Amino acid sequence: MYNIAVIGASGAIGGALIEHLAYLHPGAMLTAFSRSQTTFADPRINSRILDYENETEIASAAVLAAERGPLDLVIVASGLLHDDETMPEKSLRDLSGEKFLKLFSVNTVTPAIVAKHFIPRLNTDTPAIFAALSARVGSISDNHLGGWYAYRASKAALNMVIKNLAIEAARRNKGATIVGLHPGTVDSALSKPFQSNVPDGKLFTPNDAAEKLCHVLTRLSPSQSGLCFAWDGQEIKP
């Protein structure tokens, strides 16, 4: 039976992903992990609370998700761009060590620790995928505007983690695909302060983004492991 786990399911994209995956895979086992209790209309979705800063809990979550069989798809949809105390930097004077540590903890460390415990539980008999939400602004070669120091750096670091994970996973699981996914700009709390600069037709609803990303996932193969792909299937260069 197809087995799916989504980490970060209380967010706009994470919630839409688990619901769309439930629609695509009617017979699947689905586990949704989030910081707070989240309720889904589909009774098949097993919703669990997870403290992303507690590695012991993450390890237990991996055991739980794979309790009835190996994992076929794992998506890390958690992330942070801003909150009530932190906004993206516009210039050097806005930089702070505290901001860097906070964003790296959420955007880089958490996906890496999730990978540490979930990737070994991926299916080895059939193709399996581990994906983490990244961002186009994490591309060094695509950076023409500057700013957003901590967020850009944390996503660039995540992309390097994904590359490392892909190299190591391939030694033990030839059918595994480890990728980063860029969902585009999604109408959510994360993008709300920055939506005025989004071109027409490029602000997606969470459901639109989930549908596009799931379509990308269906077209991946192990030969593409370690790369980052946008919502339209195009590879994002490092």
**Does residue 91 lie within any of the structural domains?**
yes
Q: Tell me if 9 sits within 8 A of 34, measured CB to CB.
A: yes
Q: Can you say whether residue 146 is alpha, beta or left, with left for phi > 0 and alpha for psi between -120 and 50 degrees?
A: left
Res. 102: pLDDT tops 80 = yes
Res. 14: pLDDT tops 70 = yes
Kindly give, in sequence order, each residue whose CB lies less than 8 Å from that of residue 215, ignoring residues fewer than 6 positions away: 233
Residue 55 belongs to domain spanning: 3-230
CB atoms within 10 A of CB 171: 7
**Does residue 237 lie within any of the structural domains?**
no
Residue 1 pLDDT grade (very low, low, confident, very high; cuts 50, 70, 90): confident
CATH number of the domain residue 83 falls in? 3.40.50.720
Predicted structure pTM score: 0.95
pLDDT number for residue 193: 67
Using a pLDDT cut of 90, give the percent of the chain over it.
88
Res. 59: pLDDT tops 90 = yes
Residue 188 pLDDT grade (very low, low, confident, very high; cuts 50, 70, 90): confident
> What are the distances in angstroms from CA 84 to CA 80, 105, 118?
11, 17, 31
pLDDT number for residue 201: 63
Using a pLDDT cut of 70, give the percent of the chain over it.
95
Lowest mean pLDDT among 64-68, 146-150, 202-206: 202-206
Res. 90: pLDDT tops 60 = yes
Residue 191 pLDDT grade (very low, low, confident, very high; cuts 50, 70, 90): low
**Does residue 215 lie within any of the structural domains?**
yes
Q: List, for residues 197-211, the tens digit of each pLDDT value.
A: 666 667 899 999 999
What is the average pLDDT across 54-64?
A: 98
**Does residue 167 lie within any of the structural domains?**
yes
pLDDT number for residue 85: 86
Q: Tell me if 80 sits within 8 A of 102, measured CB to CB.
A: yes
The residue whose two tokens read 């961002």 is: 135
**Does residue 235 lie within any of the structural domains?**
no
What is the average pLDDT across 136-145?
A: 95
What is the average pLDDT across 24-40?
A: 95
Average pLDDT, the chain: 94
Kindly give, in sequence order, each residue whose CB lies less than 8 Å from that of residue 93, ignoring residues fewer than 6 positions away: none
**Does residue 12 lie within any of the structural domains?**
yes
Q: How many distinct structural domains can be found in the chain?
A: 1
Q: In whole angstroms, give the CA distance from residue 227 to residue 158.
A: 11
Sheet with 228-230, strands from edge to edge, namely 45-49, 29-34, 3-7, 73-76, 128-133, 176-182, 228-230
pLDDT number for residue 84: 85
Res. 27: pLDDT tops 60 = yes
**Does residue 36 lie within any of the structural domains?**
yes
Burial 35-70 (b: 16+ CB within 10 A, else e): beebebeeeebebbebebeeeebbeebbeebbeeeb
Residue 192 pLDDT grade (very low, low, confident, very high; cuts 50, 70, 90): low
Q: Can you say whether residue 8 is alpha, beta or left, with left for phi > 0 and alpha for psi between -120 and 50 degrees?
A: left
Tell me the two tokens of residue 57: 């809990």
Res. 11: pLDDT tops 90 = yes
Q: In whole angstroms, give the CA distance from residue 201 to residue 198.
A: 8
CA angle 43, 49, 50 (to 5 degrees): 135
**Does residue 124 lie within any of the structural domains?**
yes
